[in-house]
Amino acid sequence: MKCPQCNIEMTPKTRHRINVNFCEACKGMWLEHQELDELEDEVFDFGEHDKGTLIFSSTPTAAKCPECNSILRKFKYRLYDLEMEFCENQHGYWLYEDEDTRVLELMKQEETRLKKNVKAEDKWAAMVRHMHSSSFFGNLRDRLR
Ligand SMILES: [Zn+2]
Ligand SMILES: [Zn+2]
């Protein structure tokens, strides 16, 4: 699989318990669509009604999906103001250099603030599963119309 930004072959890597395709050149990573696991509410609580407000706008980018060659779209996940790119055909997500680490750091801060005994790594894994869920995609697609 080639990096959507630099077009060089990516290497499979496990980062913060998530399997990604990592680009050694730009240090970005591609998160493939995966089987949806049931979200454990105590790990990460995405209320049904909150989902709609999590996503702002999305704009087309110059990058293409490594699987289907569709233009990737950039969107802002309101949670921590994180900017990512995604394939509209549900193939996966592109994260820029160290974005996953940044999210983890913010989650750790939130953990301390809320005094929740959930590891940031588990939350991140839950968030990625959520991003790959059909409800998240459905919502994202609705927003683009
Ligand atoms: Zn790259
Ligand atoms: Zn695709």
pLDDT at 34: 60
pLDDT tens track for 78-118 = 666 778 899 988 888 999 999 989 888 888 887 788 777 77
56 alpha carbon – ligand 2 mean position (Å): 21
3-state secondary structure 69-108: CCEEEEEEECHHHEEEEECCCCCEEEECCCHHHHHHHHHH
95 alpha carbon – ligand 1 mean position (Å): 10
112 alpha carbon – ligand 2 mean position (Å): 37
74 alpha carbon – ligand 2 mean position (Å): 13
pLDDT tens track for 30-48 = 998 664 444 444 455 554 4
Model confidence at 76: pLDDT above 70: yes
For the chain, domain boundaries:
11-144
pLDDT at 79: 62
Question: What is Dmax (Cα atoms) for the chain?
Answer: 43
The Cα–Cα gap between 90 and 101 comes to 23
86 alpha carbon – ligand 2 mean position (Å): 8
pLDDT at 9: 98
104 alpha carbon – ligand 2 mean position (Å): 26
pLDDT at 80: 65
If we measure between CA atoms, which residue out of 61, 98, 91 comes closest to residue 76? Answer: 61
User: 2 falls in which pLDDT band (50, 70, 90)?
Assistant: very high
Q: Which long-range contacts (CB under 8 A, 24 or more apart) does 37-45 make?
A: 37/129, 39/126, 39/129, 39/130, 39/133, 40/126, 42/118, 43/118, 43/122, 43/123, 43/126, 44/118, 44/123, 44/126, 44/127, 44/130
pLDDT at 29: 95
pLDDT at 37: 45
Q: Could you tell me where the DSSP H helices lie in the chain?
A: 51-54, 99-114, 120-131, 134-144
The Cα–Cα gap between 142 and 109 comes to 31
23 alpha carbon – ligand 2 mean position (Å): 17
